[in-house]
Each structure stands twice: as C-alpha cells, then as structure tokens.
Amino acid sequence: MARSHIHKASWLLPDKFAKPMQLVQKAVDQLKTSAGHDFLKFTLDGRLVGDLGEAIAEHLFTIKLHDSQQTGHDGTLERNGAIESVEIKTRRESTNIWFDSEPDHIIAFRLEDGDDRITLVYAGPGSVLRYIRPGAQHGETVQSKAGATIRKFAARQTVSLNQLAEHFKYEDFMKTPSIPFRNLPTVA
C-alpha cells in the first residue's frame, strides 16, 4: 500500500456546519436500521460532500462561491484587482478527484470519519496539476462568467488526494497562506 502524504492535523467543522452534519449522520443511522440490510451503507458522498466542502471553504477562506455551477471552478479569489479561479474538491470515501481544467487555485479537503472534522489536504496553485499530470494536454482558454481565465484540458484528468498532498506543506501554509483566511479554523 502506498504511503499517505496527507498530514495528521484536522480541523473541527465550524459550528454552523457541525450541528446539521450530526443530524444528517443520525438520519443515515436511522436509514440503515430501517432498511435492515448491512450491505446498504447510505454513504454521504457526491453532491452533499462537495457542497459541504464548498460552503466550508467560503467560510474559512476569502473566496466567493458562484451563484450557480460553472465548469472548471467553484468560486473566485480577488487579489490585486485580478479575479482568480478556485476549484474546491472534497472527498469522504473516494480519494480520486477529476479536473476538466486547470484553475488558478485548488482547495482539497477530506471529510473525516464521524463527519465532525475535516482535513485540508491541499490549498495552493492549480499549476500543481502540471507536475502530477505532466503529459496533460491543454485545450482552449476561456473567460468565465465571473471574469477568471480558465485553461481547459483536452481530456479529464484524474488525480488522488495523496498526489495533491505530496505537493503541500501544511505547516508552511498555516504560517503564510497562499489563499487568505476569512475565519481561522479550530484544530481538532
């Protein structure tokens, strides 16, 4: 088994997300009991986990989420008068992440067991994808509705959380964040 490069520090979910997630977990437990089958897991993944990650990212960092889904990025960061794209990825069970374009910034979280903690796996430049997938061919470059430049890939790129974590130094980021904090996280 490959060595994990994901650091051990995790953050408590902000209260405004932790309490609703406790209710969701309680509902999942009730669904499991009601179904009466051990093989039905009712896992919290997909859209729920992704949306939770985006909301947490906007709460913690000085980014602005889009009002509707846009291909290639979930929000923007305004810096020195420029609009920069931010793609937010959150996983719980799965570790694979797909990218259709290279954003200016990537924020990647892992929602931990118990759903009351989250780990920042990566927060930094989207150009890291060039190192993880050096053969990836870029397609067209377009302007998003929000004004960010989007560099699309010719084909979807798959990377793992561990590959992103190899390029992330948590301690350095916490000293000098490349994506500024709006609210500091509480370390678990």
92-130 pLDDT, tens per residue?
Answer: 877 899 999 999 999 999 988 776 899 999 999 999 999
Element (H, E) at 77: strand 75-79
> What pLDDT does residue 108 have?
96
Higher pLDDT, 75 or 40: 75
Query: Per-residue pLDDT averaged across 153-165, rounded?
Result: 93
Cβ-contact 64, 94 below 8 angstroms: no
pLDDT(45) > 70: no
Give the full edge-to-edge strand order of the sheet including 11-12.
64-65, 75-79, 82-91, 105-111, 117-125, 11-12, 186-187
> What pLDDT does residue 1 have?
46
Distance CA(57)–CA(176), nearest Å, equals: 17
pLDDT(2) > 70: no
Query: Per-residue pLDDT averaged across 155-161, rounded?
Result: 93
CA geometry: angle 174, 3, 49, nearest 5 deg: 60
> What pLDDT does residue 171 have?
94
| Six token digits for residue 16 | 């405004």
pLDDT in tens, 123-155: 999 999 999 999 888 888 888 887 888 889 989
Helix then strand then coil, in percent of the chain rounded to 5, is: 25, 35, 40
pLDDT(176) > 60: yes
For the chain, what is the radius of gyration of the CA atoms?
17
Residue reference for tokens 């931010």:
86
Cβ-contact 62, 181 below 8 angstroms: yes
Which pairing describes strands 186-187 and 11-12: parallel, antiparallel, or unpaired? antiparallel
- Strand-pair partners of 120: 109
Please tell me the number of Cα atoms within 13 Å of 59 on its side-chain side.
15
pTM of the model: 0.88
Q: How many CB atoms lie within 10 A of CB 3?
A: 6
Distance CA(51)–CA(55), nearest Å, equals: 6
pLDDT in tens, 50-89: 889 999 999 999 999 988 877 778 999 999 999 999 999 9
> Mapping DSSP to helix (H, G, I), strand (E, B) and coil, where does residue 14 land?
coil
